[in-house]
Structure 1
């Protein structure tokens, strides 16, 4: 299709506001460094509820859309499809604005060479919500451009034309989109496209089947591990099993003589093998003698001592009224969560080819723009000389927000002049993950004469989540004072309480931690919602009433109350134990999306069994309700796995386990027999979906166990004491 040569399109007011808003945030962040806590708390509160807009190119439809000769639309998505259903949702939005049938929309990952590059990432539950406005505008732009060109070709006024399923019709004449686009060398891009009324949409709001289902069912080669290039070799990088190891030197004399070895690559920070096969590369890698500098032999107990409230640096992220005093009749509880691995099915890997001053990278990644930038910087290339071709992801969950293996593969390829495929082994994937950090929480509160909370205080410690990651520059954390990932779920949502305070403590850990689906939400909500239930018991009040009476009647508070009421009604919540089963309630707000869950639990052979989970969530406008329900179901099962089974240990300076099985995860037999999802619409635009349902599940299960056993479990994974 013809390219757009019009670069004089004006900036809409919407785009100005987006850019202006982000600019203001930057100014306020600098101001925070000066004025410290009051402004800092205000900014952190705004960031905590921010629905991240899409801020990259939204004024050139031709880098987003391609019209094929058989009259299909190929949509180049800057957001990655990693199982969350993004491709289907954005196809629905585009199809409605373009007036084209869903089956004519083919969504593909945008290679960086298209120019449609997301400089942020696929993450933060922002793919659908962030693209809601700009993608509809882009689609409306393209529809208007096609109508104008058809008007010229058919010699009819635009108001005499209509669009039906990719065909423009008027006065007995018609042209397909492909016929309209044929031969056009230059397009005039409209500045202010007119969007359709949502009530006239055919697909948005409907449970449209997944458009990527067939390829996955039939096992087509669409994932990173499937990627191939002609004349390809295989790479392996020597990695230390010890935490915090720094590469010093390597002796590769033996490895160089081994079968299949093409070259040993020595870089300042790593040594690698390139060989004719993967097994030959692995064998040679194991024969290289490497000297490392590393930490002492740390163990899990050392990490627990480090990760304790009071260690590290603190920031008050939320504050209202007075603090607790020692003489107050208060309850204090402590909670802990462990190191968590991503444990996605597909390990990280890449195929790279560097030749003649250009690099081609085929990779499963959530950060196309950052991957391209890192490769370009290390190879001293312009970013335009690096082409990143993203694939489908065999699980992401934040693990693929970190892609230094792309740089390593590119250096290997450059050294041998041929394409190189390099993938982590399963052991390497476990030991060199960017882990969910362990946490520790100290929560205190007391009740007033009405049996409601008078003062509530939450202090929690975490390692890095966003800090020092590829997505967040190093200067930002010291300015804002808190890790914006670790504090997710750490804010007190019961703002009707007269006095409350939330304090975040940051501690440096000796191993890498970063984004894990829902960030701090799972841990923080487990602690806070468990404590809320304990206080409700102390007040001798129903857990639902106890919560509802302490939620403010502001817009987000009303939405939170609505999901609590909805889940209570749907599950027929009761605090009675019936036939050995009990119900537990929990609720959270994440990225401005409230979610409440009720878990129905029993104890069988000394094991916690989750029979049913009821979910009520308010994601705003549901572009694809089935897709959202699937996300809720996935979060519930992933959450059950995390809160009942998953845990990494540190043993003699090494992270373990290093394989599925010893790293316990929920199996099919551990999934609840029923997950019932209720969707509410508390606002007119789509909101975050992919992570909010992970918040309540841990506390919901723990609260049910508390009613069954009388024991408050305060540590993940939840394990029953032997005496029960």
Structure 2
């Protein structure tokens, strides 16, 4: 369908954009008025459910009606296993009045014009598109009905539609027939949406729309991508942290078998060859001189990442501060460097001609990748077409994909398409890591055994800000990294006196978005401390939490998931047949989640037998998919808190392969993950990251009841005496 119409920005879209602009203005005010307003803004950002702010008023950019009466939905959000394609297909099918089999979801190439200017991340794909996508689908339905009315010479009010077939006065037209020959469309304002009770697919456990392709091994991932006449590239990368390029001796590689060209740029050295193995061999023969910083080790990084270093910001405060003469309980917690370790390494296929470039890539940031390639090649962004593929794991690792630039430069140099993928060693050493953290938490109980005062100080490197997506200027305005503080806010707001302080330290290696950002480490520390204080106060862990939660809407939802998890798991603090339960809860992106972990000790190793999850994500577009997300978060969280850890040795990040980089295996998975979904909100909320929050503390709290040992460092390891 061709779009030759022009439409003014709708009031709804203006309000969305205006609202975000207001946040920016207030952020500047926060910088001027410092901490009180900063804390208010940070609290708002922490609980923000981000709207979708790109094209939401042109159905023709999103949908394509095909001749066989199916609807192609060009999704600006990437599918990386989280089920986004299925959820948005359900939303579109209901408003379009078509069957699920008539909706085909594909990644929107940037040439379609349907480009997400931010990213696929932050658990916002379904929640952000909930209203605009349904409105777009409803607008298209109205447009097709109007065209059918003209072709059938019947009033629009006399027409009905079901399964993509328009009927009226004994006549019928398919959507495809209604759209045939139409060159210019009249785009209506967003019509009234259907009532939720009239939806056939939303709220139902619909099977994944990408299931068949994955079962049959269709070539849908970045590693599968190819182009005619394609060559292969490799890039020489340093092994030392902070190394910068000085010079390269390429003489040993220039005449090696299969080598087409060696490219020496100011920021990288690349090889293009007839095969991947020939490119790799030639790369290894190039002698590069690097300017490296002094050798670092894990001990130095740990000392650097300690509360008191860097710059601090009070992100939350209520009541009085600690009186230094008071007696209080204090615990310190640490988490290590974490890798993304996704199964598909980063890679790209690039084809560059004089006035255009085509980039096939697994990325979470189509818009950013397009801008970077265009800038490097001296092209307009419209001359660069990013063709996204399915992602073999994202988790934030693909929120910056600058290797697209390197492949594009190599393609331009040889005049042919070039495919370039990281080796596994490169993927590990040049990841954008989850930063290590350190926490000091202090608390004091009142005479009733509940908390009177609570203080959380924590240090982290960059997570969201100072990244390609979020410039460091935002941290300067707000005084805190909006990613590092997730989970760092104290959720027990009925405590009379509490304070949370964030310390920012710059690390010498790249750190950035890792699924759930700061939530995993912050919740591990805080919920472990809360559990310890419940024990000190001789209180049941669930009752202790419930007593100290406020009465706002989010507080009530948190109480509900805590009660639901405890009830479903039949939470008990007794050790039965060598097993104990641990409890923890958190709020992330306005979605509360509580978990109970049932744990034993086998051969001095922690064994998780069962995890019960209760979560309130609001309206569940696809409850089965949400349960799958909860299960995936539990497994990923278990892997992170029990096994995963990167080290720094002789200035290098290590390990560089699976195996030495320990991860949870199938044998380590709990035999049962029981998920309870509460829907105490009438719109969808965040799903993909909130269930990562409680798992670390839930396991550690179970271990505390089993052994009496309070584990305060990730990954969780028992002392030899346990």
TM category, shorter: over 0.9
Aligned to 2:668: 670
Partner Cα distance (2:432, 2:633) in 1: 20
Does the CA contact (< 8 Å) of 2:49 and 2:589 recur in 1? yes
Aligned to 1:713: 711
1:558 counterpart = 2:587: no
Aligned to 1:307: 305
Runs of 4+ in 1 over 2 A off after TM superposition: none
Shift of 1:284: 0.6
Aligned to 2:129: 131
Aligned to 1:5: 4
Aligned to 1:193: 191
Q: Deviations over 1:82-106 (max 9, x none)?
A: 0000000000000000000000000
Partner Cα distance (2:160, 2:469) in 1: 44
Partner Cα distance (1:580, 1:490) in 2: 33
Q: Deviations over 1:307-354 (max 9, x none)?
A: 000000001000111111222120010000000000000000000010
Task: Evaluate the alpha carbon distance shift between residue 10 and residue 20 of structure 1 in structure 2; reply closer, same or farther with a 3 A threshold.
Answer: closer
Total equivalences in the alignment: 722
Q: Equivalent of 1:165, from 140, 163, 166?
A: 163
Shift of 1:450: 1.4
Does the CA contact (< 8 Å) of 2:337 and 2:435 recur in 1? yes
Aligned ranges for residues 209-288 of structure 1 at < 5 Å? 209-288=207-286
Partner Cα distance (2:703, 2:329) in 1: 20
Shift of 1:10: 4.7
Aligned to 1:297: 295
Partner Cα distance (1:8, 1:636) in 2: 46
Does the CA contact (< 8 Å) of 1:639 and 1:697 recur in 2? yes
Q: Deviations over 1:479-527 (max 9, x none)?
A: 1110000000000000011110000000011110000000000000000
Partner Cα distance (1:152, 1:357) in 2: 42
Q: Deviations over 1:21-53 (max 9, x none)?
A: 101101001111111111111000000000010
Does the CA contact (< 8 Å) of 1:54 and 1:131 recur in 2? yes
Partner Cα distance (2:56, 2:351) in 1: 31
1:450 counterpart = 2:453: no
Partner Cα distance (2:473, 2:517) in 1: 20
Partner Cα distance (1:6, 1:315) in 2: 50
Q: Equivalent of 2:336, from 338, 341, 348?
A: 338
1:484 counterpart = 2:482: yes
Aligned ranges for residues 48-197 of structure 1 at < 5 Å? 48-197=46-195
Partner Cα distance (1:326, 1:118) in 2: 50
Q: Deviations over 1:250-291 (max 9, x none)?
A: 110111111111000011111110111111111111111111
SS in 2 for 1:351: strand
Structure 1: gaps (5+ residues): none
Q: Equivalent of 1:20, from 18, 21, 24?
A: 18
Aligned to 2:392: 394
Q: Deviations over 1:209-228 (max 9, x none)?
A: 00100000111100000000
Partner Cα distance (2:448, 2:187) in 1: 63
Aligned to 1:36: 34
Aligned to 2:682: 684
Aligned to 2:352: 354
Partner Cα distance (1:501, 1:17) in 2: 34
Aligned to 1:637: 635
Shift of 1:305: 0.4
Q: Deviations over 1:362-407 (max 9, x none)?
A: 0000000000001011111100000000000000000000111000
Partner Cα distance (1:90, 1:382) in 2: 31
Structure 2: gaps (5+ residues): none
Shift of 1:356: 2.1
SS in 1 for 2:280: helix
Does the CA contact (< 8 Å) of 1:9 and 1:59 recur in 2? no
Partner Cα distance (2:670, 2:606) in 1: 11
Q: Equivalent of 1:655, from 653, 656, 663?
A: 653
Partner Cα distance (1:170, 1:425) in 2: 60
SS in 2 for 1:678: strand
Aligned to 2:322: 324
Partner Cα distance (1:250, 1:265) in 2: 10
Partner Cα distance (1:192, 1:491) in 2: 38
Partner Cα distance (2:658, 2:689) in 1: 24
Does the CA contact (< 8 Å) of 2:138 and 2:190 recur in 1? no
Does the CA contact (< 8 Å) of 2:599 and 2:699 recur in 1? yes
Aligned to 1:619: 617
Partner Cα distance (2:235, 2:342) in 1: 20
Using the TM superposition, name which of 324-333 and 545-554 deviates more: 324-333
SS in 1 for 2:252: helix
Q: Deviations over 1:178-237 (max 9, x none)?
A: 000000010000013121111100000000000100000111100000000000110000
Partner Cα distance (2:720, 2:294) in 1: 34
Shift of 1:16: 2.4
Aligned to 2:522: 524
Aligned to 2:472: 474
SS in 2 for 1:514: coil
Shift of 1:9: 4.0
SS in 2 for 1:375: helix
Shift of 1:723: 1.1
Using the TM superposition, name which of 189-198 and 301-310 deviates more: 189-198
SS in 1 for 2:498: strand
